[in-house]
Amino acid sequence: MARAVGSLDPALGTGPHGGGLWTTRGPGAGLGSVRDVRREASVLHLDLDAFFAAVEQRDKPSLRGRPVVVGGTGGRGVVATASYEARIYGVRSAMSTREARSRCPHAAFLSGRFGAYREASRAVMGALREASPLVEPLSLDEAFVDLAASPDPTLADLSVESVTAFAERLRARVTEVTDGLTCSVGVATSKFMAKVASDLDKPDGLVVVAPGTERELLRPMSVTVIPGVGPATADRLRRAGVQTVADLEQVSQEELVRLVGSAHGIGLFHLARAHDDRPVVAERETKSVSVEGTYDSDLSDLRLMEHLLVRQSGEVAARLAKAGLSGRTVTIKVRLHDFTTTSRSATLPEPTDSPAVVARVVRSLLAELAAGVETGPALRAGVRLLGVGVSGLADWVQDDLFADLDGSDEAAGTTDEEAEDLPEPPRARSSGWAPGADVVHDEHGRGWVWGSGRGVVTVRFETRESPAGPVRSFPVDDPALHLWQQPEDEPTDDPGGPAAREGGLSAPG
């Protein structure tokens, strides 16, 4: 399974890149000058395969080996991810669910179980931290690991052979602690190259890029392989005759700055040459207070967005004050209509709990997003979620991705007088018997919602450990049927063990 890349292979990796969270830290951040990259392939990037769908297949034996689509199942729903069986039919992340249904009508369409994804994510991150103290999570299913910081004696020389063997063991460990999820791993001399590499042999693959071979690997790839190069930037570059990284290498830094702006242009110039010395930064213990709201149909009015964010700033500040806390870093989080999440942060010289100060920073962060080459048009195309956070240290953004699919809307219900002339933001609906939701029946035990409608809910009675189970239907108000939820604070030291799986019952939603 493991593959060392040491020579050019033009067939590989020319597609656009998944895991859009690269853009959240600002394209090209920290790439202002030419710096040395590492001599050894000691940056590891790990990304779970078809993450949400794989968790569903793990927990729903009848869906294993079958097309599964996770996302919004309503009329305006968008696909979050699809199992590899569904991808054969062309189903992709961010596609409308309607389109996905027409391409693959026999797939199971599920609305997502975020507690289960968070639990799997915690188990993975725990396994990575066993491997090295320096782990930087990028999203629920993705992280960098600095192998140079690992105490493991087999990594002492950081040779291609030893990092390859180590990475294979790590992949096996991830599968073990998640009860069967697979992942893809890239190892290289930089974050950029490790991330490129982990995508080359997906799913269930390992690619180690031998030091010194980075540029020949990149040259035939599309410029979209570079973080921050989305459709708008790619289009500008294409009009200038630049399609591959090899083309990009021919363009001077001045010309790139002229084409795509200074911050972006300088970053592109360096990444085209595989110059990336960004360190792996361990996630610090971050105390933060945040508020967010999710909207059932997309917001596209910038003024309304600003109004909602300012209102959230007031709430965050009030919570900070109530808790006797203050923070220096203010973050806004925006989930776009295609479910990609973007954030912008600014750090103040002094900690604050002032609503006016938070609101001022929030306004300027929104303005920054609205002015961005990629983010501006995306923002105007529609926003599903807005949030404001204040933290002592750094990113607060990652911990509750996709809260909106749970139907939560924390920010709703606040009052505001100056908003009279603004349209009311659409509210998220609560989902009832959402397809795929975990349930428990007093008599039949654990199962999941197969579908509901016309006063009837149909449940398949099976769990991760059982064989594929039978299907039964009940009235939607059957008092013996309850939603089941993984208790949030379950210890995850042994996520494969029975204690982490059984949990308790929750009230019906």
Contacting positions for Mg ion (CB under 5 A): 47-48, 51, 141
Q: Give least dist CB 152 to Mg ion, A.
A: 25
Q: Give least dist CB 47 to Mg ion, A.
A: 4
Nearer to Mg ion, 141 or 353 (CB): 141
Nearer to ligand DCP, 402 or 474 (CB): 402
List the one residue out of 332, 316, 326 whose CA is nearest residue 353.
326
**Beta strand 383-391 pairing with 288-299:** antiparallel
- Write out the residues near ligand DCP by the rule CB under 6 A: 18-19, 47-52, 80-81, 93-94, 141-142, 202-203, 338-340, 402
Nearer to Mg ion, 119 or 141 (CB): 141
Determine the 3-state secondary structure of 136 from DSSP.
Answer: strand
Q: Give least dist CB 101 to Mg ion, A.
A: 23
Give CA–CA dist 440/421, Å, rounded: 46
Q: Give least dist CB 142 to Mg ion, A.
A: 6
Contact 452, 433 (CB under 8 A): yes
Nearer to ligand DCP, 81 or 329 (CB): 81
Give CA–CA dist 448/466, Å, rounded: 13
Choose the one of Mg ion, ligand DCP, none that binds residue 114, judging by a C-beta under 5 to 8 angstroms depending on kind: none
Nearer to ligand DCP, 184 or 352 (CB): 184
Nearer to ligand DCP, 49 or 374 (CB): 49
Terminal alpha carbon distance of the chain: 44
Q: Give least dist CB 401 to Mg ion, A.
A: 12
Q: How many helices (H) and strands (E) does the chain have?
A: 15, 18
**Eight-class DSSP state of 353:** -
Contact 223, 247 (CB under 8 A): yes
**Beta strand 183-188 pairing with 327-336:** unpaired
CB atoms within 10 A of CB 479: 9
Choose the one of Mg ion, ligand DCP, none that binds residue 94, judging by a C-beta under 5 to 8 angstroms depending on kind: ligand DCP
Reading across the β-sheet that carries 79-82, which strands appear in turn?
79-82, 68-71, 108-110
Tokens of 464: 């991760």
Determine the length of the chain.
Answer: 509
List the one residue out of 324, 348, 429 whose CA is nearest residue 384.
429
Nearer to ligand DCP, 52 or 433 (CB): 52
**Eight-class DSSP state of 132:** -
Put residue 60 in one of left, alpha, beta given phi > 0 → left and psi -120 to 50 → alpha. beta
Determine the 3-state secondary structure of 457 from DSSP.
Answer: strand
- The angle subtended at Cα 32 by Cα 31 and Cα 36, nearest 5°, is 60
Q: Is 142 a catalytic residue?
A: yes
Q: Give least dist CB 48 to Mg ion, A.
A: 5
Give CA–CA dist 113/60, Å, rounded: 12
Choose the one of ligand DCP, Mg ion, none that binds residue 338, judging by a C-beta under 5 to 8 angstroms depending on kind: ligand DCP
Choose the one of ligand DCP, Mg ion, none that binds residue 81, judging by a C-beta under 5 to 8 angstroms depending on kind: ligand DCP
Q: Give least dist CB 121 to Mg ion, A.
A: 11
Reading across the β-sheet that carries 456-460, which strands appear in turn?
471-475, 456-460, 445-453, 438-441, 481-483
Active-site residue, selected from the candidate residues 142, 214, 315, 374: 142
Radius of gyration (C-alpha) of the chain in whole angstroms? 23
Nearer to ligand DCP, 77 or 261 (CB): 77
Contact 483, 506 (CB under 8 A): yes
Choose the one of Mg ion, ligand DCP, none that binds residue 389, judging by a C-beta under 5 to 8 angstroms depending on kind: none
Q: Give least dist CB 375 to ligand DCP, A.
A: 15
Q: List residues with catalytic annotation.
A: 142
